[in-house]
Amino acid sequence: MTTPARCLGERVGVVLIVGGKWHDVDFARHELGGALLEHDAVQCAVRSDFSDVEAIGSADAVVAYTCDVRPTPEQSAVLAEMLRGGGRLLGLHATNSAIDAPAPGEPRLFRTPDAMPEFTALLGNRFLAHPKIGPFLIEPVAAGHPLVAGVEAFETVDEIYVSERSADLTVLLDVAYTGPCPGFEIDHGSGRHPVLFTRPEGLGSVTYLTLGHCRGRFDVRDQGIADLGVLDRIAWESAEFREILRRCVSWAVHGDQWQQCRAGEVE
pLDDT at 266 over 50: no
Tell whether the model's pLDDT for residue 170 goes beyond 90.
yes
Q: Check if the beta carbon of residue 151 is closer than 8 Å to that of residue 244.
A: yes
Residue spans per domain, the chain: 12-262
Residue 4 predicted with pLDDT over 50 = yes
The CATH fold assigned to 12-262 is Rossmann fold (3.40.50)
Mean pLDDT confidence for 107-117: 96
Q: How far apart are CA 62 and CA 129, in angstroms?
A: 25
Q: What is the mean pLDDT of residues 133-137?
A: 97
- Residues 96 and 213: their CA atoms lie apart, in Å, by 13
Concatenate the DSSP letters of all residues of the chain into one string.
Answer: -----S--S--EEEEEEEEESSS-HHHHHHHHHHHHHT-TTEEEEEESSS--HHHHHH-SEEEEEEES----HHHHHHHHHHHHTT-EEEEEGGGG---BPPPTTS-S-BB-----HHHHHHHTEEEEE---SEEEEEEESSTTSTTTTTPPPEEEEE---EEEE-TT-EEEEEEE--EE-TTBSS-EE-SEEEEEEEEEETTEEEEEE-----B-TTTTGGGT-S--SS-B-GGGG-HHHHHHHHHHHHHHHHGGGHHHHHTT---
* Measured distance CA(4)–CA(75) in Å, rounded: 38
Percent of the chain with pLDDT over 90: 90
Tell me phi and psi for residue 175, to 5 degrees. -145, 145
Q: Label residue 262 by pLDDT band (50, 70, 90).
A: low
Q: How confident is the model at residue 104 (pLDDT cuts 50, 70, 90)?
A: confident
- Does the pLDDT of residue 67 top 60, yes or no? yes
pLDDT over threshold 50, residue 267: no
Q: Is 180 a residue whose pLDDT tops 80?
A: yes
Read off the pLDDT of residues 75-100 as tens digits, 9 standing for 90 and up: 999 999 999 999 999 999 999 999 99
Sign of the torsion angle spanned by Cα atoms 226, 229, 235, 239: positive
Segment 38-66 mean pLDDT: 97
pLDDT for 154 equals 98
Q: What is the mean pLDDT of residues 18-43?
A: 97
Burial code (b: 16+ CB inside 10 Å, e: under 16) for 206-225 equals bbbbbbbbbbbeebbeeeee
Per-residue pLDDT reduced to its tens digit, 182-234: 999 999 999 999 999 999 999 999 999 999 999 999 999 999 999 999 999 99
pLDDT tops 80 at residue 265: no
**What's the pLDDT at 64?**
99
Per-residue pLDDT at 264 exceeds 60: no
Model-wide pTM > 0.85:
yes
Mean pLDDT over 147-170 rounds to 97
